[in-house]
Structure 1
Amino acid sequence: MGRKWILAGVVWAMAMPAMADYAAGLEEFQRGNYASSLYEWRQEAEKGDAKSQFSMGLLYEQGLGTRKSLEDARKWYRLAADNGHMEAQTRLGELYLTGQLEGGDAKAVEWFDKAAGQGDALAQFQLGMLYLEGRGVTADSEKAAGWLEQAAEKGVIQAQNNIGSLYENGQGVEQNATKAFELYEKAARQGDIYAQNNLGAMYAKGNGVERNSAWAVFWFTMAANGGNEVAVDNIPEVLDRLAIKQVAGSRVNIRRGAGTDYDVVAVLRRDDNVHVLGEMEGWSQVYFELNDFPELGWVSSSLLK
């Protein structure tokens, strides 16, 4: 997981005299006048302003308003980080973690630890994963769980899934299937395909929640649609628990939602099989396969037999 620091795209401009402060640099940056923002921020950065130092690092890393230079970016990030700038500390950690700076995982741990201690959610997530995997630090599942839980509480989706896994397996925390289910569901509803698969498995097994094959198929299919190949393999294990019906009309529209106002996602033909997940106001939510790939949709219940 990474933070999207700044938008791509460069608009060059000559540096213009202006009041040299962070706000002036930010205003120029927002206008796309990166060379001018570099000028403004440099004045404050050289006076020790951490926000300006961090912003200088971003400009040099991306090559906005100046040449692209990771070494200059590192210099400014380090100055900002030493001045306690949380995001600069996290960015240094990412650069070490990805091998863009020499020093390896141990240096990544050092900087993530500083930022995590200040409450940076991304640093907490990364530090938790490093402790979990024993990279740059002795593996410690309890410390991993502690950092991942903090990141999860701040809304880091991957952290929600990963701490959910620790709760499910009792790794670094007391085993709690109900807590695992809640965390998986939170991440799954935000689109995490790994959490969606995990949530499907919880429903399939009745672990942490009452067993529900329809919800299992739903979440496995959502994960599969997002590219989770494990979820594709999980679907057949629960699919035969659902009722099978056949299409009654010669050409029947399968829609994205329960109603004719929703887009058509597929057209099925007479006697095609569908698996029914549930019904609502005369519409059935169905599982079907399109070009051998799992899909979900809605069809009028009157058009099934």
Structure 2
Amino acid sequence: MKTLTLTTREHLFWKTMTVTALTAAAIFCLSSIASADFETGLRAFEEQRYADAAAEWRVAAQAGNSRAQHNLGVLYDEGLGVEQNALEAAKWYQQAAENGVPGAAFNLGAMYDEGYGVEQDFAEAAKWYRAAADAGVVDAQFNLGLLYAIGQGVPQDYEKAYYWVSLASAAKDVSFEHLTACYQVLEELAPHVSSAGIKNAETAASTWWANEYASLQ
């Protein structure tokens, strides 16, 4: 069986610690109390009053605000306004991910990938990376590609690996670090994928992003 000559795991993108703002759709679905608590927490966070943000987001999170659940996970992950606690971070990421927050799904996938705050489980990592990847989180697309390249949590499949990393590389406004990692992994994968497979992956990736950007207009 063909194997990669270099370990691509070293390129793993870790969690994203950006808190999320409340969207109009989320406001529509939430009670006015939960929305007010979330927005009060967001103002406190922006003013670096992290303990106040944690208190407000806890109320909103317990009321079902998925963005507050994600953001509370970030605070526990980073130890901002609360004592750092990976178990609590994973708990809140899990709730937010199950409620459809892509950033939380990526963070939860990364925790399962690394065995941080949860027992290491590559199948769970792949599951949550896929949820985030389908929502356009480029780091999740990249990490999912690595799992397919190595065969951790999913069957080893170089064409799927090439597709997901191609998708991650085709997004707009990504960092130089991200693009460099993508291109290095694609270079490593290319000898293990047919010319037709490479072309199909690149075409599918371009089409996916074209549709995604069109849907945002």
Where does the alignment leave 5 or more consecutive residues of structure 1 unmatched? 7-50, 55-84, 244-274, 279-283, 289-294, 298-305
Q: 1:87 aligns with which of 32, 35, 45?
A: 35
Quote the Cα distance in structure 2 between the aligned partners of 1:186 and 1:286: 19
Q: Which of 180, 190, 196 lines up with 1:276 in the alignment?
A: 196
Give the TM-score normalised by the residue count of structure 1.
Answer: 0.54
Question: What is the match of residue 231 of structure 1?
Answer: 182
Cα deviation digits, residues 206-239 of structure 1 (max 9, x gap): 1101111111111111111113423333221212
CA contact (8 A) 2:167 2:202 kept: no
Q: 1:156 to 1:286 in 2, by over 3 A?
A: closer
Moved over 2 A (4+): 227-234
Following superposition of structure 1 onto structure 2, how do residues 103-118 of structure 1 map, counting pairs within 5 Å?
Answer: 104-118=49-63
Distance 2:162 2:184 in 1: 11
Give me the whole-angstrom Cα distance separating, in 1, the residues matched to 2:41 and 2:24: 14
State the alpha-carbon separation in 1 of the partners of residues 185 and 49 from structure 2. 37
Aligned: 1:4 with 2:23: yes
| Alignment-derived partner of residue 77 in structure 1 | none
- How much does 1:5 deviate? 4.1
Q: Which has the larger radius of gyration?
A: 1
What's the Cα RMSD here?
2.1
Residue 137 in structure 1 maps to residue 82 in structure 2:
yes
Name the CA distance, whole Å, in 1 between partners of 2:133 and 2:115: 20
Q: What is the number of equivalent residue pairs in this alignment?
A: 176
Identity %: 31
Q: Give the Cα–Cα distance (whole angstroms) in 2 for the partners of residues 201 and 142 of structure 1.
A: 25
| Structure (1/2) with the larger strand percentage | 1
CA contact (8 A) 2:166 2:201 kept: no
**Cα distance 1:132–1:236, how it changes in 2: closer, same or farther (>3 A)?**
same
Letter in structure 2 aligned against 1:133: E
- Structure richer in helix, relative to its length: 2
Contact 2:141–2:168 (Cα < 8 Å) also in 1: yes
Q: Please say if residues 162 and 201 of structure 2, whose CA atoms lie closer than 8 Å, have aligned partners that are also in contact.
A: no
Shift of 1:108: 0.8
| Change over 3 Å in CA distance of 1:148–1:165 after alignment to 2 | same
Distance 1:4 1:166, change over 3 A: same
**CA distance in 1: counterparts of 2:156 and 2:162, whole angstroms:** 12
Kept after mapping to 1: 8 A contact 2:159/2:201: no
Is 1:197–2:142 an aligned residue pair? yes
Q: Could you tell me how far 1:286 is from its partner in structure 2?
A: 5.2
Alignment of 1:69-88 (within 5 A): 85-88=33-36
Shift of 1:203: 0.6
Partner of 1:170: 115
- Residue 285, structure 1, aligned to residue 200, structure 2: yes
